Amino acid sequence: MDVSTLAEALFVSRLRPADCPETPEVRAAIADSLQSLGAGGCLAAMAQEFGDYPDTAPARMRWALGLVRSL
């Protein structure tokens, strides 16, 4: 699966940057999001968050991308 799809799944997960999640938690959160929403559902939920919270969503996406790239 590509980096952007994994980051989208992490973006919409229950994890937050303040949680300072470890690798197993990140992987589990991504798997949970993909299982419950599917890749398309994660993308749609992320788009909704960008619409609802345009000031904070970009920082959250940078966090998600950074974590996924570090795995």
DSSP class per residue in 9-71: HHHTSS--GGG---HHHHHHHHHHHHHHHHHHHHHHHHHHHHHH-TTTHHHHHHHHHHHHHH-
Question: Is pLDDT of 1 > 90?
Answer: no
Domain boundary assignment for the chain: 3-70
Question: Is pLDDT of 67 > 90?
Answer: yes
Condensed to tens digits (0 to 9), the pLDDT of residues 3-41 reads 999 999 999 999 999 999 999 999 999 999 999 999 999
Average pLDDT over residues 48-56: 95
Residue with tokens 């996924």, as numbered in its chain: 68
Question: Is pLDDT of 49 > 90?
Answer: yes
